[in-house]
Amino acid sequence: MTNAPEQNFLFGNPDVVDDDVAATELRLLALNIESPSAERVRRQLDWIYEAGTNVLVLTEVRLGNAADLLVRELTSSGFAVARPHTGPDNRYMTLIATKGYQTRRVPLNGDSPRFHAVRLTSHFGNLDVIGLYALTNGMSDASSAARKAFQQQVLDALSARLAAEPAIPVLVTGDFNVVEPGHGPADSRALFEDHDFDFYLDFGRRLGLVDSFRQTHPAATDLTWYGPKGGQRLDHVFVSPEVHRRVTSVGFNHAVRTSRLSDHSALTLVAT
């Protein structure tokens, strides 16, 4: 017998964004979906489809039945879903889904289920969309070492990609699990270490990418996740300068968090 949540996924959702939108607008939504159950996947996707976006970067997708269901529903609703290769030791992955675009996978040095890329042919040329779900702070020396190593792996891979194909811009987004230096409550910032702040800063100073949200909203105080120590902006989007010049809007939709569909707000960006 087919369970009720899965029964609703058999034929896709007719209300998703039209393929034709991709000819004029790139509409991005990046969201940490917080390891959902199959029932919550259904409600999350209803919310995502209503947002009318054609590029999705979904992080903290826990491997299992709910993740399989998520992939099947996105595919049946017309999205091309890039699912990374996973092994028996992996718990989480990042999904990238696009609608109306020609896409192909792009290998990155040391890519992982948490960190991978697709190249899409947009109305302004080729663009590599890179999804990232960075390691969390486990509040231990071992956690710090693992986090620092992963951060270095990401920066090295992006540096190599930009050096190899400098003419193709990039958009890197997801849950970076770090905050801007000086942003958010002081007791919350105290949970991070120098290498965490360097990770954020090196997207600009080492890679030459732009924090599109901060550049657009220099005084904004949005926080995208809340915990016992207060709120943090953990979700970011860094883009090549030529992509940032095409951005017409970038910000956060907090309704998905306040309605408890996720413990994160959604990052949204439109480029024309």
**Exposure on the CB side of residue 93, measured as CA atoms within 13 A:** 23
* pLDDT higher than 70, residue 7: no
* pLDDT higher than 50, residue 123: yes
Tell me the pLDDT band of 2, cut-offs 50, 70 and 90: very low
Rounded (10°) CA dihedral 10, 13, 14, 15: 170
The answer regarding whether domain 4-18+25-271 maps to CATH 3.60.10.10 reads yes
* pLDDT higher than 60, residue 5: no
By CB neighbour count within 10 A (0-12 exposed, 13-18 middle, 19+ buried), where does 21 fall? middle
The partner residues of 190 in beta bridges, in order of sequence, read none
- pLDDT recorded at residue 138: 73
Rounded (10°) CA dihedral 10, 16, 21, 22: -50
- Residue 247 burial (CB count, 10 A): 21
In percent, how much of the chain has pLDDT > 90? Answer: 85
- pLDDT recorded at residue 15: 78
In percent, how much of the chain has pLDDT > 70? Answer: 95
- pLDDT recorded at residue 187: 83
* pLDDT higher than 90, residue 46: yes
Q: Using one digit for the tens of pLDDT, what is the confidence trace for 66-87?
A: 999 999 999 999 999 999 999 9
Tell me the pLDDT band of 12, cut-offs 50, 70 and 90: low
- Residue 89 burial (CB count, 10 A): 5
* pLDDT higher than 60, residue 19: yes
- pLDDT recorded at residue 166: 98
Tell me the pLDDT band of 137, cut-offs 50, 70 and 90: confident
- pLDDT recorded at residue 13: 73
Cα–Cα distances in angstroms (integers) from residue 171 to residues 37, 118, 168, in the given order: 29, 10, 10
Residue (of 65, 58, 9) closest to 37 by Cα position: 65
Section 243-264 average pLDDT: 97
Q: Using one digit for the tens of pLDDT, what is the confidence trace for 155-188?
A: 999 999 999 999 999 999 999 999 999 988 888 8
- pLDDT recorded at residue 140: 87
Q: In the predicted model, what is the mean pLDDT of the chain?
A: 93
Secondary structure, 3-state, 231-244:
EECCEEEEECHHHH
